[in-house]
Structure 1
Amino acid sequence: MTTLLEIKNLSVNIATDQGDVHAVRDVSLSLEPGETLAIVGESGCGKSVFCKSILGILPVRAEVAGGEILFKGRDLAGLSEKELETVRGKEISMIFQDPVSSLNPTMSIGSQIVEAVRAHQKVGRAEARERAVSLMKQVGIDAAEKRFDQYPHHFSGGMLQRSVIAMALACGPDVLIADEPTTALDVTIQSQILELLKEIQKRTGVAILFITHDLGVVARVADRVAVMYAGKLAELGTADDIFYDPRHPYTWGLLSSLPSTDGDEETLNPIPGTPPDLINPPRGDAFAPRNPYALAIDYEEAPPVFKVSDTHYAATWLLDPRAPRIEPPVRVKNGRVIKRQEAFR
């Protein structure tokens, strides 16, 4: 299988009056055709900046400071704005967290989907309208012909997100980047959108890069999981690797913070402290000050990436042969904290 998207040693800085924020620090990841790779971590860990760099839609004063973004062997990081416009929407599309901010309130939903269709396809307006109505039906918008002429304020949150998904699929992209696409929705609608994305992927074979802080969502959609912390990759593996055999203390902390599956604990277990200031990244392992299992070396030297298996990697000194043997928290062992989430699959 040929790798669709390969990101090598990517670093992204954001200039501020106080200094450069090192938002993404030497991250390498790949995405295969038809798979879903979830990128998970707390707010501010670099997930969204990492993904926006792929399409060259970084925030003002942000820039790629190093690395390659290889899409079908072509380095997107080296393309001009005009060249990137031929990739955005047509080959790589993005669904944003808030559908309201993604839509123009002065245009009908159907007109906006038509605009997305015609942006990269040489079709007439009548054909584009037919395509737009078909897309609306595919994403589960009832009475699509009638709702074509309605405006965003006529749609519920779930229907707005379905409309945004239709726009993202307008040109049949190879990669769909979903940036927290269900965060603003209630649990029932969230479940419907996740099922829709899975059904679309099964039908079209699109690869999905799914950004989220919600491990329950990850358990439902991901083939592989990348855990990010302080702009770096902490752990990478299959969904089973991460949920049933996690190796990084940060991953343990994220899993421990989920509600218990047994319902016998009244308190949650949040990770103490806050992520570090990335204007002046800490020496050593950035997670060390919040890590109850930190070793002396964690405060002095950043850990290398250790190979656990052919699919599983983690950047923690606990995997060094010289490190003491430390077991994960009881709540994390054997995937106990995630079993309830699996019941919603």
Structure 2
Amino acid sequence: MNNLLEIKDLTISFDTFAGKVQAIRGVDLELAKGETLAIVGESGSGKSVTSRSIMKLLSSNASIEKGQILFKGQDLVQHSEREMQNIRGKEIAMIFQDPMTSLDPTMTIGKQVAESLRKHQKISKQAAMKEALNLLELVEIPEAEKRLKSYPHQFSGGQRQRIVIAIALICYPEILIADEPTTALDVTIQAQILELLKEIQTKVKTSIIFITHDLGVVANVADRVAVMYAGKIVEVGTAEEIFFNPQHPYTWGLLSSMPTLDDANDRLYAIPGSPPDLLNPPKGDAFYPRNSYAMKIDAEQEPPFFALSETHKAATWLLAPQAPAVTPPQEILRRWEQFNQHNLSSNDISTSLGN
């Protein structure tokens, strides 16, 4: 695989008044050129910290204790702030969760979209504004030319998110990081933004890292999915493998908590308990206290990754040769049956989920 980005054994901590929080604990990830990688997990699992570390946008109390972030072979961990300023926006860009806090209320949209281009490419104001217009049309802002001189408050929430996407894409970056970009939007606008990102990726050929707590959001967007829990990757595979052949009990819980058109129950499943305190990470499997399938070894030893295919692996002792057979939740059995009987492709995932 031609990897554009490789994260190797990334370990990040935060110094707090209570002590050192071990937020990221030995993360390994890969991103191929032109693919969409979704990183999913509950709040506090380490998704956003991992993504922000790629651009070195961590808070002042954060420390990258070890590991590498290789972008086109260069280790970004070793880059100075000046070197990162030349990469941010130009080669790696980010879309944040709340578009209103990402936009300057005192600047026109045209100037904000063109700003990054003028900084990185040193082109004239007129040429930059022309390219800003092209981007606003690409993200489907109505009457884009007329609205170049409008201010953020004059746009709807969905339009502001499209503008933020235009700002991120103005230099045609090789990697686009989307950190929960649809959370603040209603379901209809959310679907439009996701479809827009898919269309833009086809046109611009950028690689996308999509951060979300909701597996359903990335059902028909991601090529591969990495599931995070307590600062670690616990399962990674193609979208098809994660949605229809999940193997980690945490992934089972995330999928079981998603509503589907086939679900006749009014109540959704919820994973019991809470994530662990990363001031003092647990000794064994971090998911052990919340795992109804846990064994004695889970409390004593951290599980290694077990490979299920060239693209699919999961860190759970349930995959060890000596592990007892277990019966997963009914929703997971249904997915396994679909996977085995129909061999669903990734294009069928969204339909199956009722999205």
For the aligned pair, the TM-score class normalised by the smaller chain equals over 0.9
Q: CA deviation at 1:340?
A: 5.4
3-state DSSP of counterpart to 1:137:
helix
Matched, 1:194 2:194: yes
TM-score (norm 2): 0.95
Q: CA deviation at 1:284?
A: 0.2
Q: Is the Cα contact below 8 Å between 2:260 and 2:353 reproduced in 1?
A: no
Q: What root-mean-square deviation, in Å, do the aligned CA atoms of Structure 1 and Structure 2 show?
A: 1.3
Q: Which residue of 1 aligns with 2:250?
A: 250
Q: Which residue of 2 aligns with 1:148?
A: 148
Q: Is the Cα contact below 8 Å between 1:245 and 1:334 reproduced in 2?
A: no
Q: CA deviation at 1:108?
A: 0.7
Q: Which residue of 2 aligns with 1:98?
A: 98
- Alpha-carbon distance in 1 for matches of 2:208, 2:353: 20
Q: CA deviation at 1:263?
A: 3.3
- Alpha-carbon distance in 2 for matches of 1:183, 1:156: 15
- Alpha-carbon distance in 2 for matches of 1:331, 1:340: 16
- Alpha-carbon distance in 1 for matches of 2:204, 2:260: 36
3-state DSSP of counterpart to 1:220:
coil
Q: CA deviation at 1:189?
A: 0.5
Q: What per-residue deviation string (whole Å, max 9, x for no partner) do you get for residues 231-284 of structure 1?
A: 001100001111111000000010111124323112111000000000100110
Q: Partner amino acid for 1:228?
A: M
Q: Which residue of 1 aligns with 2:346?
A: none
3-state DSSP of counterpart to 2:60:
coil
Q: Is the Cα contact below 8 Å between 1:8 and 1:27 reproduced in 2?
A: yes
3-state DSSP of counterpart to 1:292:
coil
Q: Partner amino acid for 1:211?
A: I
Q: What per-residue deviation string (whole Å, max 9, x for no partner) do you get for residues 28-48 of structure 1?
A: 000001100000000000000
Q: Which residue of 2 aligns with 1:71?
A: 71
Q: Partner amino acid for 1:198?
A: K
Q: Is the Cα contact below 8 Å between 1:245 and 1:333 reproduced in 2?
A: no
Q: Which residue of 2 aligns with 1:284?
A: 284
Give 4+ residue runs of structure 1 displaced > 6 Å after superposition. 336-339
Q: What aligned pairs does 1:229-240 form with structure 2 within 5 A after superposition? A: 229-240=229-240
Q: What per-residue deviation string (whole Å, max 9, x for no partner) do you get for residues 81-129 of structure 1?
A: 0001111010000000000111111101111011121121121000001
Higher mean C-alpha displacement, 323-332 vs 194-203 = 323-332
Q: Is the Cα contact below 8 Å between 1:5 and 1:31 reproduced in 2?
A: yes
Q: What per-residue deviation string (whole Å, max 9, x for no partner) do you get for residues 193-219 of structure 1?
A: 001000000111100000001111121
- Alpha-carbon distance in 2 for matches of 1:188, 1:81: 39
Q: Which residue of 2 aligns with 1:174?
A: 174
3-state DSSP of counterpart to 1:294:
coil
Q: Is the Cα contact below 8 Å between 1:230 and 1:275 reproduced in 2?
A: yes
- Alpha-carbon distance in 2 for matches of 1:72, 1:40: 24
Q: Which residue of 2 aligns with 1:127?
A: 127
Matched, 1:62 2:62: yes
Q: Is the Cα contact below 8 Å between 1:257 and 1:270 reproduced in 2?
A: yes
3-state DSSP of counterpart to 1:221:
coil
Q: Is the Cα contact below 8 Å between 2:261 and 2:354 reproduced in 1?
A: no
Q: CA deviation at 1:339?
A: 6.2
Q: Partner amino acid for 1:42?
A: E
Q: Which residue of 2 aligns with 1:47?
A: 47
Q: Is the Cα contact below 8 Å between 1:34 and 1:201 reproduced in 2?
A: yes
Over the matched positions of the two proteins, sequence identity in percent amounts to 59
Q: Which residue of 2 aligns with 1:118?
A: 118
Q: CA deviation at 1:145?
A: 1.1
Q: CA deviation at 1:325?
A: 1.2
Q: What per-residue deviation string (whole Å, max 9, x for no partner) do you get for residues 280-317 of structure 1?
A: 00110000000000000000110011111111000000
- Alpha-carbon distance in 2 for matches of 1:157, 1:104: 15
Ranges in structure 1 where 5+ consecutive residues have no aligned partner: none
